[in-house]
Chains A and B, each alone.
Chain A
């Protein structure tokens, strides 16, 4: 198995860098690239305390599988890929997304990691609601999946 994908419910579960490292390890690989996205304490001048991630579970898993398959086909079929995203309430500092790639050489490891991150942002139905220090909260704007020819 060369691809691991999951949505991790933040209540009771944590995304683990160590698990990712174990998964992608192979003596065939000379490169590992790991991207860790975390909840930041500020956005557009507002003090953020936490983010709630909502997701369409089935569609997210389907998109993760497609994105990882595409990445392997595009850059290196022998790469090992670990992709997990949080779902639920995550405080500042907690991991929101983890992408780990093991492959023969550094170039494809970096490229696969970057490719997956950008495609997740544009294809996977995940939403963020930020919680602020003043008690307010806000769903963040994003990328529309409506077919472009229909958008008025």
Chain B
């Protein structure tokens, strides 16, 4: 037995026993334990294997910077890999498993890497896996990734839910130790809105493990009293289990609250984690300080931990790290740990102080070695002794744990996340937070104030400054009387000379002293280079523990101050954040909401197959009877429309209603074609350009009143056109009296097309819609039977006699059903967007397949629409520029395949017959293609250089992607009814 539970003491509930398991073995702990303290209490010293050499590793810290004790918590789909045992709250039924070992933690095959250590030095990957280059992706990388390991995640969907919340406050206090509590209390009493966030499950910070008496009592009693007052203040929010992980612009902080990570049962109503975005007028960083490990030979053997961790396990958790603890220190902290352990009755093998002439006294009966050091450790997976160097003499000292103290580093990560670089302090031998303004102020140990009395004073004073900056009167705070405190000073000791075995700098990444030396020798001595070369400071702990020693060592090797070496860049997140929390509720259907047309139910009833178009689900085709392929359905639908009639859902088109005395003038400037003289009751096809002269979008413009228009946009550009119009109305021409709004979702719109469209439609419309009463391009409100008002537009995309009927969205399905019943005797069918596409290609109508942002109106054969007489419109001026009027621009043409069984696909290029495929020989491209059931052959729309002069030419449709070459004849792009006799029938 080495580590054990002390018979009394600690802030654990000994009456409440919790059962848990580690690697399948049943163990028990108490409420208030972390997984780490419970493992120690069960004498489980070996908890993991290191990353590279698979060396046996034990618990080093008692907090979030833990590099070694990474375990997988949970099982099955609720499995969290790389969980730090030192912060994982113990709960009944917790299942933990070790990582990075095979077949077992005690016997790990991967440990042979340790025998090959001399070949696995820094830069090993870069030097070894260079050649052949082709091997990297296929052989080396997968091999390295499998070997590198650490925890494995479960790949099935996460069964739990997560959420995101915003919070606003006057003061955010990060950390609930002495400085944080004092700050929160002053702010709370002064009436500020305060949020106090603490990463631990228990509030109080170091006061929970501190033994220096406050007002003559244990510090946790003082903490409890302050917390009671804060808890009862309505202006204070306490957030335990909440890690503030990032500091962003405008003093917004990111924080992760572990809502339900401390129980085996998950309440499905609540999220397991909550991602907070906290908007704080001010913040105080009371994140404390981190104790540094010492870099000595064999310092990674299980049983070696920081002195403060050993004290925390003893004081807060009632656990002894060993029966005979050797303490190795370079300052006063080691003496304090010695006193704490001795007070708990834990044996101390020796207290070794690297300083030859320190003033502190060791507790009575403890062997003190001044000016000494540890140069090696003995034992296997557990510690049996140390080799101490005492002025050149080597002493073998038996012990089963080492508590090391290498001095302190303020935890300043948050303050350095927005570009500020840490500032080296020679006096404190540590990096301090830079001055980052009044928004975020470090206090207490995070500001280098290590004494308890200084922490209380600093936290209270900085909070009072903030209270006053916010124009309020700061309330008083009576700091407790602090008992005797040691001088917190230390003498930096970046590494211990004379190491007899590997001295690790970064435990998680197996970076040892020799690796850093190699990096410097090979020219990678810059701190950022050394990080990449040695991997020091990478992975889940991001060098929280080891970086400072690495910097000190690099400085010593280069003969400069650590100030000159500097630090690597601090970035969010302070500790890892789960993807689940970052995704929040944006998963599944919430990540990509479904937009359904008001006619969705009608389409579904008629057997539609739906296709995703952006967020929309559009009816693609309507399979009937024996039809097995989409082509069979589409061909039938097209023939039905050309011969009888069809009904198509066009509700997804953007619809924008435009009002105002200047509405006509506004639209006239927005579209390239003239609109001022559009009569009331008429619709017109319209083209919007960009300022550079290219087509932006197309649609129809209907004038419903003198000062009332309705325009349509394409489905895809509905949002973009609205925003474009808003820019024009608000920024370009704010003096125009015009107002508009999107009504896309308010109307169900259906196209009724085909020679029998009128007779079918008339049966449900009260008003006269004969050709005389409702001619081509008529657009006005009509009364339907049953007195429903709709809007009818005689416009055609298919080239047939056609109408678009819009009714209030809620009536859509009923009207569509009524039309289907009325159309049944006339052979009307439902048709989808696939048939719509074939019909418009046959008619030579363009869509965004043609209007791809490189096409001018003239390119698309619509040059005649340009209102050249207009004073101004968007795109007018640059339409005349050189290049847009060149004779050899690609122009819209039709293509007919010479043989009916040949295929043409959009994206194919056009080549002169016999020409070699090359960029220079490229003649154009196919924009849309289909099989035309009307012409009974494959047809296409294409852009061809000087195309309108080349009708009749035979050309090669070259589709390298699919390996198809087709001969086609160039023709006019309107394949069906070129003289528009059907439209005006």
Q: Answer whether A and B are interacting partners.
A: no
